[in-house]
Chains A and B, each alone.
Chain A
C-alpha cells in the first residue's frame, strides 16, 4: 500500500449524474443498489423498421424544470445532460462560482462525448432532405459539435483554463476525468470539472448500431451464458476534482481520492478487445496508485454483455489480479443503466464512489446462468455489503481504447 506521495494528490469533492435509472446521485444510487433496471421499449424515436426496439432512456428530463440557465435550454440534449450533472457536482463541491481571475485560469473543464449532438444533426438532415426546408435551424452547428457541452459548462462557471471535449467512444468519461487528474497532479490546474455526456438515442443511431449486429433484442446480461449483446442508453456524469490541500483548506467534504489512472490502446482491432491492452491498462492504473491487486475490493467492470468483451475482461482481470481475482467483488452496472457509451465510465465512477461511501457493492442484474468462461464473482442480482477501501472502474472502448480509474478513501 506504499503510495508515492511526492506528487500532488487529487480528490473528488462533487459529483453529478443523469441516467436511465435516475437523475441525481441519490435517485441513481438508490436504484443501483436495489437492482432496478432502466432498460425498456424505446420512446424517443419511432421503432418502425427496427428490430431492436429497446434502449435505456433518461426519463422525464426537462431542462427548464431542472432550472438550467438559458444557454442550456437552447443546447442539444447531450449538453443539457452535462449541464444538469455539472450543476449537481458543483453545488455539492461548495465551490464559489462563477470563478474569477487566476483561480478561473487554473481550473480545467474537460467534458467529452462519444458522438456529441448527433440527434440535432439527424433532425437537421431530416429538415433538409425530407422536408426540403430552405435552411437548418441556426443553432444546428453549435448544438452538434462535440465540444459544446464543455464550452457551455465553462461559460456557466467562468472557467477560463483548459477546456475541450475528449473523444474515445466508450472510454470518453475516464479519459476526460483522467486528464483533469493529470492536469491537477502536474500543477497546471488546482481543480477541474471532468466527465462525459451522451444523448445519441435516435432513429438513425439505432439503425447504425443495429447494422453492427452487436445489440441485444431483450436486455443487457453481462457475464451470463445467455448474454446476447449490449443495449444503448444515454446519460451523463461529472466529477469535480480538486488538489487535496486546496480542498482541505476550504473545508470541502472529500468524497474520495482519485489515486490511479491507466490508459492504453490495443492497436489491434476495431471491435475485438485484446487481453494485452485491457490488462495493461488495469496494471498501469494499479502502478499509478501504488497498489497491489489484493488492495482492490471492488471492480466496476466494463461488462457490455457482448460475447467478446466479457470473456476478454474476465481473462484480463485474472491475468492482472492472479489469486486476488477470486476475492474481488465485481459488478457490471450496465445491466441496470444500459450502455451510455461515452458517458458510461463516468456514470460507473459515480456508482463506484457511492459504493465506497456506503460499503455496498451494487449487483449485476438479470444474472441467471453464468458463462463457464466467465468465472469471477460478479455480485449476481443482489447488492452485497462489503467495506470498500479501493475500487477500480474499467472502460474498454471500440477501437481498443482503454481507460481505467482507481479510487480510494479521502486522505486521512
Chain B
C-alpha cells in the first residue's frame, strides 16, 4: 500500500469509534460504521492532509466514497489535476 493509501486509512481509523487493523482498499466505507457527518469530518481531514479540495456533498450518492480504494483514487486524481498546468483556474 502506498503513502496516500496509508495516510487515508490512518485518517479513517482516527475517526472510527473502534478502529480495526483489517482495513483494505476494497473495504466498503459502510462496513466501517461511517455515517454522513463522519464523512464530512474525514473529508476535511483528508483535504487538510493533502492540501486539496474535494467537492463532496452529503446529499449525493458518490461512487468516489464507496470503498477505501475509491477514496484513494479520488484523492490521487485531484492531486494530479492540481499538478497539471492550468489547474489553478
Q: Residues of A with Cβ closer than 8 Å to B?
A: 51, 211-217, 227-229, 269-272, 305-308
Contact = CB atoms under 8 A, between A and B. Distances in A.
B40 A213 contact: yes
Given A51-B53, A272-B35, A212 B59 contact: no
B55 to A, nearest CB: 7
List 10 A-B pairs, minimum CB-CB distance, nearest first.
A213-B58, A229-B59, A307-B59, A213-B40, A228-B59, A271-B37, A213-B56, A214-B58, A212-B40, A306-B59
Highest count of chain A CB atoms <10 Å: which of B39, B53, B58, B60: B58
B71 interface: no
Given A307-B58, A307-B59, A213 B35 contact: no
A228 B60 CA distance: 6
B55 A272 contact: no
Contacts of B53: 51
A211 B36 CA distance: 12
Interface of B: 35-37, 39-40, 43-44, 53, 55-60
28 contacts: A51-B55, A211-B40, A212-B37, A212-B40, A212-B58, A213-B39, A213-B43, A213-B56, A214-B58, A214-B59, A216-B57, A216-B59, A227-B59, A228-B59, A229-B57, A229-B58, A229-B59, A269-B35, A270-B37, A271-B36, A272-B35, A272-B36, A305-B59, A306-B58, A306-B59, A307-B59, A307-B60, A308-B36
A228 B57 CA distance: 7
Contacts of A229: 57-59
A214 B39 CA distance: 12
Nearest to B37: A271
Contacts of B37: 212, 270-271
A305 B36 CA distance: 15
Highest count of chain A CB atoms <10 Å: which of B37, B53, B55: B37
Contact of A211 (B44, B55, B60): B44
B37 to A, nearest CB: 5
A214 B35 CA distance: 13
B11 to A, nearest CB: 16
A51 B58 CA distance: 15
Contacts of B44: 211
A211 B54 CA distance: 11
Contacts of B55: 51
Nearest to A230: B59
A231 B30 CA distance: 27
A215 B55 CA distance: 11
Nearest to A211: B44
A270 B44 CA distance: 18
A52 to B, nearest CB: 10
Contacts of A269: 35
Contacts of B59: 214, 216, 227-229, 305-307
Contacts of A212: 37, 40, 58
Nearest to A217: B57
A274 to B, nearest CB: 14
Highest count of chain A CB atoms <10 Å: which of B36, B44, B55: B36
A211 B60 CA distance: 15
A87 B62 CA distance: 48
Contacts of B43: 213
